[in-house]
Amino acid sequence: AQSVAQPEDQVNVAEGNPLTVKCTYSVSGNPYLFWYVQYPNRGLQFLLKYITGDNLVKGSYGFEAEFNKSQTSFHLKKPSALVSDSALYFCAVRDSSASKIIFGSGTRLSIRP
């Protein structure tokens, strides 16, 4: 069975500092991995994905994520945080051989000025 975990409910970072939001997963086959962001009273917006190829993927708004197969992780990163990055972030995984996508419980990112 596939699963995804976001171990931190909240991450607090000062503006200008690097940020990391953690995600680990479990699938039986090859993973398709996604990051989404949700602003208040809005639907989820796609940030980036890993399907195959380079382990470091770049996405919207300066975010990037690194796929680590041995650690089964797909952490979201940004070199310099902005206050406007404050939002709820969801990691999602899909087994390449299955149809269902599973979302993590979410991490609230708070960037202080």
Spatial neighbors of 107 by CB under 8 A, at least 6 apart, are 6, 8, 9, 10, 11, 21, 22, 88, 89, 90
Binding mask 28-47 for other proteins (x = CB under 8 A): ----x-x-x----xxxxxx-
- Choose one: 20-28, 61-69, 79-87, 99-107; the region binding other proteins (CB under 8 A): 99-107
13 pairs with which residues across the strands? 111
Number of residues this chain uses to bind other proteins (CB under 8 A)? 22
Does position 63 interact with other proteins (CB under 8 A)? The reply is no
Residues 79/29, Cβ–Cβ less than 8 Å:
no
Interface ranges with other proteins (CB under 8 A)? 32, 34, 36, 41-46, 49, 51, 90, 94, 96, 99-106
